[in-house]
Structure 1
Amino acid sequence: MLRRFLYIVLFVCVAIGCYYGMSRASATPITQIKDIRYFASKDYVRVVIDLVSLTKFKKGELKDSKKIYFDIEHASVLNFMKRQVDVDNSIVKRIRVGQFDKETVRVVVDLDNYEDYKIFTLINPDRLVVDIYGVREAAPAEKDSIDKPADAPAATAGAANEPPVTSVTKEAAITKEPIKEPEVVKEPEVVKEAAKPAKELAKAPEPEKTHEKITEKIPETDRTTEKTHEVVKPPIETGRHKTKSARQSEPMITRKTIVIDPGHGGHDPGALSKNGLKEKDVVLDISQQLARLLREKYYFDVHMTRSDDQFISLDERTAIANGKRADLFVSIHANANNSPTIKGIETYFLNFSNSDEAMRVAARENAISMKQMKEVQSDLGLILASLARESKRDESLHLAHYIQKSLISKVGKKHRGVTDHGVKQALFYVLVGASMPAALVEISYITNPTEERLLSTDEYKELLAGAIAYGINKYISSLPDSPQYARASAHKK
């Protein structure tokens, strides 16, 4: 009897121990904060929070004290991680990170003069991305040199030589800011009304003059600011019918700003041909020629995300375009396929896709699996819905059509049998977060023997660059403010 009683007591103790052990295990954080990076320009900052794995988070805003914060659940800060970085530009003062409680990490962004912010998650590596926009001032600007390596946004105000990617550097305690019913962010639901069906978008008619974008009129260039528009005065008539007041009221003309993004680079070669031709080298050659044509022939203000063989993260590429206040963003890539018979040209814009082929191409460029590609679409539902509301998706579709049509037309005149894969939509990380119309061009298949041979020649690369430049110019010429740019171009010539 006593022995049975002892067995029962022992069983109860073991059960209680297991229960508490499981409870403690369930309370153990499942992710960690690895690093915090940022990319900053005069009126835009992108903050990237690197995680071991994605988990739920809450976001909150304290307008009175100019702070936004993110409570990352079931998370801890790595022991070696510093707790503060000083950004100290016109938008963000500092970013602080600390253990809010046993299972929650709080990231606080101390702000100065901001207008809006957007947040989304990306995978491989898992990260939380926050885009913060300052209040834009109608101020004159300085033209930056296109020949700067990487051409990235300045990392800090007053520290021109500091790298654009910055890790948290100072120890600082995080105060427990009062929480005002923060919003719980899980997997955002896809807003079905925000995106048209793939077939309807892909068959959309080519645009004529349907845009409603207005070009800001900017006074003479002030060489102390960072905005990338350049101002040109149109020729002034000197005849007797041109009065002094009329000459003084002549409007200023600004140039469109375009960011060209050569894909891959550095330790990331991109797709490889059977004979060792690297995508990163081909697209850099084409992008450099494209930038030259857009500047010299069409009189645009052009910047490149990289101007040599260096690695630029996908997070940084659109951050560069946003920081430059670009009017267009065009990413240049070469396609690849396991079948060497597949060839052709296609152009993409950012949107949902149910096409296995489109998702395969995007997964390769995003360096993730097809399974991850399908999962991440729902995570970015709110971002894609925002694109639809702001008309950026439709403008990107129009841009893609102009580029694709120009490529097929001009390449087809010199090379028979060019395959037109048309305009497609897919979720490319490099286009996520762009605040302007954006397109990604897959110029040819580097894995096809015929197109590999062509991509090895200067003639074909020049042909591709000229066709893309022509398509971009045709798109810009379709905008309501195009006469101003035509006048500016004619004046330069």
Structure 2
Amino acid sequence: MTAFILALGLLLAASTGWAAKRDKDLYLSAKKEYDLLRKGNSASGNSRRWEAVAERFQKIPQEFPRSAYADGALFYAGKSYRELYSVNRKERALDLAIKNWRALLSRYPNSPLAKEARYFLALSYEEGKGDVAEARKQYQALIEKFPRGDWPAKAKKRLKAMQEAEEEKKAPPSLSDGQPAKALLSQVRYTSSQSYTRITMDLSSEIRFETHVLKEEPSKGLPPRIYVDLLGARLGMDGAQPIVVQDRLLRQVRVAQFNPDIVRVVLDMSSLNGHNAFLLPDPYRLVIDIQGQRDREQFAALEKKRDLLPPRKTVKPPLPGLRRIVLDPGHGGKDPGAIGVKGATEKEIVLSVAKKLAKKLKAEMGIEVVLTRRDDSFIPLEDRTAIANAEDADLFISLHVNAAQNAAARGIETYYLDNTSDEASVRMAARENGTSRKSISDLQFILSDLTQNSKLEDSISLAHRLHTSVVSHMGQRYGPVKDLGIKKALFYVLVGARMPSVLVEMFFITNKTEGRELTRSAYQDALVDALFDGIKKYQETTQVVKNL
């Protein structure tokens, strides 16, 4: 009996030792991958790797809750999801980051990582969620529990900046000396790939800005730079550390209060490339698009490699022309879009249609399809275009359903990006942009160069193919469709797109008949068939033109 107990004890000790080694190995392996991703490129192609490493970290406290590495695993799971959010801008990734940091603070309140976790938790609420009250609560909790140290000091700076931003909003539009109030730069975010990067600066009000280019200075160890001076601005974010990007175009972003009246944003480039800058209102944000030169040899090698691979049995090989399409289900998350019959929401209908269309395009045309959102997430309008550019898509199609105060309004209309004087188109753009009619009018001049440089003729052709296909197919299956025409307007979601791009308003959710039909699966399937046919005919037409 004594021998049995002794053997059992030795077995338990051995298993405990194995578990201790197992959790350490899992943690160090995941941390190594995390560090490699941090040092490497933060391009959209790394989305799956960031998600995978986050899941690896999450499993450690689940399997080994008493492990000495459990708190670190939760911390880096949060950091990994935060990195994923910076790449795909999907709210689900941010929610998972918050969940892991909250778990760390709840289970391991005395962890050495508690300060940093609390800070990033607060920052995620402030910058990601826009929840100022919760952010302030978390910053204050950090300061109260840990009065000293770098992270509490940073929290104090954030609280001060938030306070100044609130005072700025409450302040009258001009100061006592007649000078305009200063705009506040509250956040800089980015979306990037190997051949495209979009930088977005969130501002409290309209602003004047200047862009400048500096060539590389090897003798001083300085890379080529693009710098943007925000005139009459104040810094409302932590500029102590650069924002590391490290794609083929952009190394990092540095932000500082250059002088009392100018905030300077410096883009340290890997190489000098073309760029565009434009201001979007309501809320104001300054967008910098950086375009790179495609590495033709790399793409040729990639295509050759694809040709060598046998096609999957369930998916047809792609027809010549279209490789990748980005579908944009409008709205999402906190933005339901239009609300129609029996509370049906635009965001739910267009997401369902987009998923079905993506599946059909892949299965029957062999086209890779990227959705700007796959769930009920809120994606800023300018980030949706950035996703299409970063994915180097061949087409960008934004899917919406229409709405009107007149419940009898019905039919379909399709838009491409261009200046317009048509009042109805201006009102429609204002509704989808979530802005005022005046802002659209002000934007006409600002964006004129961008629209002239876009693939206008191809966008018009795509709009015609999609529109006529939907009118024809839906008319044959469900009776006459009211054709509201193909129109032009300044939709933010199309601004800066580097490929043919359109916005389709698929019937009226506020119309009793159309609104009810839009919620039916069979009706959505018919819409998908119509859109699919329009895309297929567009591809066939463009191939004929290229072969002439």
Give me the TM-score of the superposition, normalised by structure 1: 0.69
Structure 2: how far apart are the matches of 1:23 and 1:339?
44
User: What is the SS of the residue equivalent to 1:443?
Assistant: strand
User: What is the SS of the residue equivalent to 2:373?
Assistant: coil
Deviating more after overlay: 326-335 vs 295-304: 295-304
Counterpart for residue 480 of structure 1? 543
User: Would you say the 8 A contact 2:239–2:254 is kept in 1?
Assistant: no
Counterpart for residue 331 of structure 2? 264
Count of residues in correspondence between the two structures: 361
Amino acid across the alignment from 1:93: R
Structure 2: how far apart are the matches of 1:419 and 1:102?
57
Structure 2: how far apart are the matches of 1:295 and 1:139?
26
Structure 2: how far apart are the matches of 1:313 and 1:478?
33
Amino acid across the alignment from 2:231: E
Shift of the 66–256 alpha-carbon distance from structure 1 to 2, 3 Å rule, reads: same
Deviation at 1:482, TM superposition (A): 8.4
User: What is the SS of the residue equivalent to 1:297?
Assistant: helix
Deviation at 1:82, TM superposition (A): 4.8
Kindly indicate whether residue 236 of structure 2 is the aligned counterpart of residue 84 of structure 1: no
Shift of the 481–414 alpha-carbon distance from structure 1 to 2, 3 Å rule, reads: closer
User: What is the SS of the residue equivalent to 1:266?
Assistant: coil
User: What is the SS of the residue equivalent to 1:100?
Assistant: strand
Deviation at 1:368, TM superposition (A): 0.4
State the Cα deviation string for residues 291-315 of structure 1 (Å, max 9, x = none): 1111111221211111111111111
Counterpart for residue 127 of structure 2? none
User: What is the SS of the residue equivalent to 1:220?
Assistant: helix
Counterpart for residue 226 of structure 2? 68
Structure 2 spans left out of the alignment, 5+ residues = 1-173, 217-222, 312-318
Structure 1: how far apart are the matches of 2:485 and 2:321?
32
Counterpart for residue 42 of structure 1? 194
User: Would you say the 8 A contact 1:29–1:103 is kept in 2?
Assistant: no
Structure 1: how far apart are the matches of 2:474 and 2:417?
25
User: Would you say the 8 A contact 1:234–1:253 is kept in 2?
Assistant: no
Amino acid across the alignment from 1:117: H
Shift of the 50–461 alpha-carbon distance from structure 1 to 2, 3 Å rule, reads: same
Give me the TM-score of the superposition, normalised by structure 2: 0.63
Counterpart for residue 438 of structure 1? 501
Structure 1: how far apart are the matches of 2:480 and 2:344?
22
Counterpart for residue 95 of structure 2? none
Deviation at 1:417, TM superposition (A): 2.7
Structure 1: how far apart are the matches of 2:267 and 2:177?
31
Deviation at 1:80, TM superposition (A): 5.0
Structure 1: how far apart are the matches of 2:290 and 2:490?
22
Specify which of 347, 350, 364 is matched with residue 283 of structure 1. Answer: 350
Matches within 5 A, 1:201-216: none
Structure 2: how far apart are the matches of 1:81 and 1:94?
12
Structure 2: how far apart are the matches of 1:475 and 1:443?
18
User: Would you say the 8 A contact 1:476–1:482 is kept in 2?
Assistant: no
Structure 2: how far apart are the matches of 1:412 and 1:94?
52
Deviating more after overlay: 79-88 vs 109-118: 79-88
Structure 2: how far apart are the matches of 1:348 and 1:97?
37
User: Would you say the 8 A contact 2:175–2:181 is kept in 1?
Assistant: no
Structure 1 spans left out of the alignment, 5+ residues = 1-21, 142-215, 222-229, 236-251, 485-493
RMSD across aligned positions (CA): 2.4
Shift of the 447–397 alpha-carbon distance from structure 1 to 2, 3 Å rule, reads: same
Matches within 5 A, 1:178-217: none
Identity of aligned residues (%): 37
Kindly indicate whether residue 316 of structure 2 is the aligned counterpart of residue 220 of structure 1: no
Counterpart for residue 355 of structure 1? 422
User: Would you say the 8 A contact 1:217–1:254 is kept in 2?
Assistant: no
Kindly indicate whether residue 387 of structure 2 is the aligned counterpart of residue 320 of structure 1: yes
Kindly indicate whether residue 436 of structure 2 is the aligned counterpart of residue 394 of structure 1: no
User: Would you say the 8 A contact 2:199–2:289 is kept in 1?
Assistant: yes
Kindly indicate whether residue 529 of structure 2 is the aligned counterpart of residue 466 of structure 1: yes
Structure 2: how far apart are the matches of 1:355 and 1:362?
11
Counterpart for residue 489 of structure 2? 426
Kindly indicate whether residue 271 of structure 2 is the aligned counterpart of residue 113 of structure 1: yes
State the Cα deviation string for residues 418-476 of structure 1 (Å, max 9, x = none): 10111111011100010000011101100000101111211110001110111011001
User: Would you say the 8 A contact 2:209–2:230 is kept in 1?
Assistant: yes
Q: Which has the higher contact order (CA 8 A, sep 6+)?
A: 1
Kindly indicate whether residue 295 of structure 2 is the aligned counterpart of residue 132 of structure 1: no
Higher helix share: 2
Shift of the 231–324 alpha-carbon distance from structure 1 to 2, 3 Å rule, reads: farther
